[in-house]
Amino acid sequence: MTTTSSLAFQPVLERIAEEIERTPGRGRAADYIPALAACDPRSFGMAVAELDGTVYGVGDWREPFSTQSITKVFTLALDLAREGDELWEHVGREPSGNPFNSLVQLEYENGIPRNPFINAGALVVTDRLHSRTGDAAGELLSFLRAESGNPAMDFDEEVAASESAHGDRNAALAHFMAAYDNIDNDIPVLLDQYFRQCSIRASCADLALATTFLARHGIRADGTRLLTLSQAKQINAIMLTCGTYDAAGDFAYRVGLPGKSGVGGGIIAVVPGRCTLSVWSPGLDERGNSVAGVAALDRFTTLTGLSVF
């Protein structure tokens, strides 16, 4: 095992990109969201951001893509910073073991989602953030722009409209939880906020930078504290155990870092106290995680020895 200095990140990324380029079988782009279906599954980008804002990248690392469920990490942080432990009365912290859009557990767990990263849990978090800010999606976008240093980051209205047109299951989740008094806002308002949240386009460079507050134990890019040390630990822990849906165990086994994936093909990962990573490749496995992205993060932790274990 070797310890990587900052100067060695670039050659490591270039080696990983070369290996990924030679790898056959990259999965399939998400086809249940029509606006994502046309993405080239062989696209690949990867970035590493150090705590001082230095960024290294390779491939399509500056190409914006649809962040999708990656944004759930940031809405969780923004809401947890506002309401603290009260949030956990409305959403759990356990792995689900079921697909990210499953309704199964909600019925026998009285409308309390298993964790904040499955769709039901993310809807609850967005709902609570919206109640506290009046514009959850706008609050999220402002945060991501500030942390990434990219004021041009924005929603993708085509993707948001596409998700809304095919959002019956998310609507069902929201209505079911509302029946248990676990949703405060009107369902159409919540769904609009949620779809806009998931439609944000960002690059690997943007996301690696935006995630560094978790590697800095809750400290934002401007030096102010968003989260307590305990809250930052909590989010990293939930990312490790729940961030890649029902493949979280395999991701922890292969990668060994807190991570969060999205069906746009992106993944973010955190090395606490050291750096953050973002990788993008649209080809997904059957569980909704980027095939090349997981492989690249696996190689990164193997080559550098940087993991939480």
Task: Write down the pLDDT at residue 2.
Answer: 43
Task: Write down the pLDDT at residue 105.
Answer: 83
Q: Alpha-carbon distance 244 to 262, whole Å?
A: 8
Q: Alpha-carbon distance 222 to 140, whole Å?
A: 17
108 is catalytic: no
Task: Write down the pLDDT at residue 100.
Answer: 67
DSSP of the chain, one letter per residue? Answer: --PPPGGGHHHHHHHHHHHHHT-----B---SSHHHHTS-TT--EEEEEETTS-EEEEESTTS-EE-GGGHHHHHHHHHHHHHGGGGGGTS--S---S-TT--HHHHHTTT--S-TTSHHHHHHHHHHHHHHHS-HHHHHHHHHHHHHT-TT-B--HHHHHHHHHT-HHHHHHHHHHHHTT---S-HHHHHHHHHHHHH-EE-HHHHHHHTHHHHTTTB-TTS-BSS-HHHHHHHHHHHHHHTTGGGHHHHHHHT-S-EEE-TTSEEEEEETTTEEEEEE---B-TTS-BHHHHHHHHHHHHHH--S--
Task: Write down the pLDDT at residue 302.
Answer: 97
The pTM (predicted TM-score) of the whole model is 0.95
**CA angle (150 as vertex; 298, 147 as ends), nearest 5:** 65
Whole-angstrom CA distances from 83 to 77, 86, 101, 132, 242 are 10, 6, 26, 9, 21
69 is catalytic: yes
Task: Write down the pLDDT at residue 107.
Answer: 84
261 is catalytic: no
180 is catalytic: no
Cα–Cα nearest to 101, from 167, 146, 148: 167
Please answer whether residues 277 and 264 qualify as being in contact, where contact means their C-beta atoms are separated by less than 8 angstroms. no
Q: Alpha-carbon distance 249 to 43, whole Å?
A: 26
Task: Write down the pLDDT at residue 90.
Answer: 98
Give me the catalytic one of 12, 56, 66, 69.
Answer: 69
Q: Per residue of the chain (309 residues), what is the pLDDT tens digit?
A: 344 554 489 999 999 999 999 988 788 888 877 778 888 888 999 999 999 999 999 999 999 999 999 999 999 999 999 999 999 999 999 997 776 667 778 888 899 999 999 999 999 999 999 999 999 999 999 999 999 999 999 999 999 998 999 899 999 999 999 999 999 999 999 999 999 999 999 999 999 999 999 999 999 999 999 999 999 999 999 999 999 988 999 999 999 999 999 999 999 999 999 999 999 999 999 988 999 999 999 999 999 999 999
Task: Write down the pLDDT at residue 99.
Answer: 67
Give me the catalytic one of 43, 124, 162, 194.
Answer: 194
Say which residues have a Cβ less than 8 Å from residue 251's Cβ, sequence separation at least 6: 243, 244, 259, 289, 294
194 is catalytic: yes
Q: Alpha-carbon distance 193 to 272, whole Å?
A: 30
Task: Write down the pLDDT at residue 228.
Answer: 98
Please answer whether residues 244 and 222 qualify as being in contact, where contact means their C-beta atoms are separated by less than 8 angstroms. no
Give me the catalytic one of 55, 263, 271, 279.
Answer: 263
What are the b/e assignments for 37-58, b being 16+ CB within 10 Å? Answer: eebebebbbbbbbbbeeebbbb
Give me the catalytic one of 66, 102, 124, 245.
Answer: 245
What are the b/e assignments for 169-191, b being 16+ CB within 10 Å? Answer: ebeebbebbbeeebbebebeebb
Give me the catalytic one of 72, 73, 159, 279.
Answer: 72
